[in-house]
Amino acid sequence: MVPHLITALTGPINELEQRMLDAMPAIERWFRLEWMEHTPAFYSAVDIRNAGFKLVPVDTSLFPRSWSSLTRDMLPLAVQAAQAAIEKICPEARNLLIVPDGQIDNSFYLANLLQMRRIFESAGLNVRFGSLDPAIKSPKELKLHSGEKIVIEPLLRTRNRLGLKHFDPCTILLNNDLAAGVPGILEDLHEQYVLPPLQAGWSLRRKSNHLKTYEEVAKRFGKLLGIDPWLINPLHARLTDVAVGKPAGIEQVQTEVDALLGRVRRKYKEYGITEKPFMAIKPDNGADVLPNGANVLIVRDAADLEMFGRKPRAAKEQRVATDLILREGVLTNERVHDAVAEPVVYMLDRYVVGGYYRIHADRTSDESTNAPGSRYVPLAFAESHHLPQPGQQAGASAPNRFYMYGVIARLAMLASSYEMEATDPQAEVYE
């Protein structure tokens, strides 16, 4: 199954798919050379939007939390990738400590933890869960609807190591995005591997760094493929020190929005695209919110920017962003069961291991599907032989379309590797 597109502009995407298939040996060699120089994220998930005329990543998560949405057919790939990643990081590893976020009362999140345990136990590790929540002072058993159980335990910190009672791990795997900040218990663990690195947490990470590094990657990959990088890269701009709550705040944002929309209109004109361009505005700091308490604002006209001139309505525990990211809005014209759909690709180390379509029947093509009411449909490649089929007509083969998704996802993950290297606090020490 390849989700159908409602736009007539399917030609460019099919041409891009064909180019990637024809250049597969060169693409795979290019990635191999990149991984000789850069360390891939331990695990990641990339949201992709297919407008019919361009295909871009719109979010790269370094703390993926929907592993339970991968089908059992995908698990062998995940186990093999986990084995490769562990052998590279800590070949003698025996114990893995997973640090979850605070959603342990959420059945969907517990299913995610269960799936992670299944993958890493199959890869040859003893897996236990340790919570950052100070309220958890003794092991807490949680039962899933399936009848399976998960035990969440209090973390124990010694001078140089973090673990659990009678459990000393080689590696600590964070499944907590640290949006509230990096707790001291995770700092200065020089004898253990902490993955992802602490600077990946949203209290420290900046979306602008990722967009900048992805733009660099897209330009280099575009040159390899002989394509306009814009076809795989959303235009963006960064706006700092916005006077939120004052009339000047609207003017600041409006000026940048108009400039970026002008750039998008010129690209639309170049490619004969008749869609109306729009903009997505997000806090640069992933831990912050917009003045209305939301994480993203879709801008279709100037009236949408009025919130920046009004007094913020964010909750007390939320910090209102004054540094913003403006990103070219990208339609998602893929449909599954007549609902708007976005492919989400999951990776372990440098390997694509599976994914799903996140669908939302009540959303339009210019809105995010990552909202209450969304559902998950497994990517159809799980029912295929996985390998691309170069002889198939572009747009007709699920493995071929999935290969293209996987290339874009790996580009985003490579960009996150550049990003983590550039923001590594230890790098300054050794320069």
**Which band of pLDDT confidence, cut at 50, 70 and 90, is reported for residue 427?**
low
DSSP annotation string for 184-199: GGGTT-TTSEEES-GG
Give tens-digit pLDDT for 313-349: 766 677 888 999 999 999 988 888 788 889 999 999 9
Give the DSSP letter of residue 107. Answer: H
Rg (CA), the chain: 22
| Alpha-carbon span 232 to 106, nearest angstrom | 35
**205 and 288 Cβ atoms separated by less than 8 Å:** no
User: Domain-by-domain residue ranges, the chain?
Assistant: 1-62+207-234+331-423, 70-204, 236-329
Q: From 255, 153, 265, 260, select the one nearest 211 (Cα to Cα).
A: 260
Neighbour count for residue 123 (Cβ, 10 Å): 21
pLDDT band at 7 (very low <50, low <70, confident <90, very high): very low
The answer to whether 299 touches 257, Cβ cutoff 8 Å, is: yes
What is the pLDDT of the chain when averaged over all its residues? Answer: 89
> What is the CATH code for 70-204?
3.40.50.11280
* For residue 1, pLDDT beyond 70: no
Can you give the pLDDT at residue 394? 66
For residue 177, pLDDT over 90 is answered with: yes
Distance in angstroms (rounded) separating the CA atoms of residues 62 and 59:
10
User: Helix or strand or coil: residue 239?
Assistant: strand
Q: Which residues touch 237 (CB under 8 Å, ≥6 apart)?
A: 256, 259, 260, 325, 326
Pairing between β-strand 171-175 and β-strand 193-195 as defined by DSSP bridges = parallel
Separation CA 219–CA 211 (nearest Å): 12
Strand 4-5, strand 334-336: pairing: antiparallel
The arithmetic mean of pLDDT across residues 398-423, rounded, is: 93
pLDDT at 145: 86
Beta strands 279-283 and 297-299 are antiparallel
Question: For residue 8, what pLDDT is reported?
Answer: 36
Cis bond before residue 312 (omega within 30° of 0): no
Residue 234, number of CB atoms within 10 A of its CB:
21
Residue 385 has pLDDT above 50, yes or no: no
Predicted confidence (pLDDT) at residue 61 exceeds the cutoff of 70? yes
Say whether pLDDT at 10 is over 70.
no
Average pLDDT over residues 74-79: 92
DSSP string, 129-173: EEE--TT--S-EEEE-TTS-EEEEEE-EE-SS-EEBTTB--SEEE
In the chain, the percentage of residues whose pLDDT exceeds 70 is 92
Q: How confident is the model at residue 166 (pLDDT cuts 50, 70, 90)?
A: very high
Whether the full predicted model's pTM is greater than 0.85, yes or no, is yes
| The two three-digit tokens of residue 8, written as one number | 């007539």
The Cα–Cα gap between 85 and 409 comes to: 18
3-state secondary structure of 310: coil
Section 414-426 average pLDDT: 92
In one-letter notation, the amino acid at residue 304 is D
Q: How far is 365 from 334, CA to CA, in rounded Å? A: 8
State the Cα–Cα distance between residues 204 and 287, nearest whole angstrom.
Answer: 9
Which is higher by pLDDT, 64 or 385?
Answer: 64
Contact 48, 55 (CB under 8 A): yes
* CA 315, chain centre distance (Å): 26
Mean pLDDT computed over 395-423: 90
In the predicted model, what is the mean pLDDT of residues 4-23?
71
As a whole number of angstroms, the distance between CA 67 and CA 173 comes to: 14
Give the tens place of pLDDT for each residue, 126-157. 999 999 999 999 999 999 988 999 999 999 99
Report which of 50, 128, 124, 33 is spatially closest to residue 87, judged by C-alpha positions. 124
Asked if pLDDT for residue 44 goes beyond 90, the answer is yes
At residue 352, the pLDDT reads: 94
Q: Helix (H, G, I), strand (E, B), or coil: what is residue 420? A: helix
228-256, pLDDT tens digit by residue?
A: 999 999 999 999 999 988 888 899 999 99
Tell me the range of 358-367, 375-384, 388-397 where mean pLDDT is highest: 358-367
| DSSP code of residue 371 | S
pLDDT score, position 319? 86
Block residue for tokens 């040996």: 25
